[in-house]
A and B are shown apart, each in its own frame.
Chain A
Amino acid sequence: MKSKIRELRKARKMSQEELALEVGTTRQTITSIEVEKYTASLLLAYKIAHYFELSIEEVFDFSEVDG
C-alpha cells in the first residue's frame, strides 16, 4: 500500500529510526512500509497518522484497495 510517510518524514527532517521510536515500532518496519513491502495494521497506521497530525486517509493511499 502506497503512503506519504517518506515525504512527511523528510519534511520534518526525521530519520526512520526517530519515527519508529515515536510510534512504537522498529526502523525496519518503517522501511518496509515505505517501500510497500508491508502493510501497517490499523493501530500502527493510526499511530503514524496521529503523529503527523493527519488522518489515516491522508497518509495512506487506499485508491488501489478493492471494494
Chain B
Amino acid sequence: MEEFKSKIKKRIFVFKCYAFVATFVVIYDVLGGVFDSLKSGDFKDGMVEGESFGIMIAIAIMAVIQIIRLSRVLNDETQLKMLYNKEHDERLKAIRSKAGMPMIMIMSILMFAAGIVGSYFNEVVFYTLFAAGFVQLTIGAILKIYYLKKL
C-alpha cells in the first residue's frame, strides 16, 4: 500500500504540472487576445482557436479536480484501499481491455493534438482528425458501457 501511496503522490505531481501548463496557456491566450480573434475571425478560424482554448480549459479543470480527489484519498486509508481495489479489479480490467482502453484514449488524444497542429496548415486536416478522434472516443465509451452492463 505504501508503493501505491507514492504512486498517487506522483500522479498528483503530474496533474499539478498539467494544471500549471494548461493555466499558463489559457492566460497566454486570453492576454494574446483570443476573444478578439474569436469575435473577429470567421466561423472556421473561431472553431480552431476555440477548440484549442477549450481543450486547455478542460485540461486545467480536470487536473484540479483530480488533484483534489487524489489528495482526499491520500488522507483516508479506506478510500485509498478502495481506489487500489478499483484500479486492480479483474472485472474492470477485463472491461477496459474489451473496450480497447487505453489505446483508444491515447490514439484519440494524439488525433486531437495532431488536429490542432494540422489546423495551422490545412483546416480539412483539423476537421478530419477532430471528427475521427471524437468518433473513436464515442465508440470506446459505448463499448465500455455495454460491457459494464454485460459483465
A: residues with CB less than 8 A from B are 20-21, 24-26, 28-29, 32, 37-38, 40-41, 43-44
Contact = CB atoms under 8 A, between A and B. Distances in A.
Interface string B119-151: 000000000000000000000000000000011
Contact of B91 (A24, A38, A43): A38
Interface in B74-116: 78, 81-82, 84-86, 88-92
A26 B83 CA distance: 9
Contacts of A21: 78, 81-82, 85
A26 B88 CA distance: 9
Chain B interface size, as a band, is 10 to 19
A21 B92 CA distance: 15
A26 B91 contact: yes
A25 B150 contact: no
Interface of B: 78, 81-82, 84-86, 88-92, 150-151
25 contacts: A21-B78, A21-B81, A21-B82, A21-B85, A24-B84, A24-B88, A25-B85, A25-B89, A25-B90, A26-B85, A26-B86, A26-B89, A26-B92, A28-B91, A29-B89, A29-B90, A29-B91, A32-B91, A32-B151, A37-B151, A38-B91, A38-B151, A41-B90, A43-B90, A44-B90
B81 A25 contact: no
Contacts of A29: 89-92
Given A26-B82, A26-B91, A37-B151, 8 more contacts: A21-B85, A24-B85, A25-B89, A29-B92, A40-B90, A41-B90, A43-B90, A44-B90
B100 to A, nearest CB: 20
Contacts of A25: 85, 89-91
Contacts of B85: 20-21, 24-26
Nearest to B87: A26
A28 B86 CA distance: 10
Nearest to B148: A28
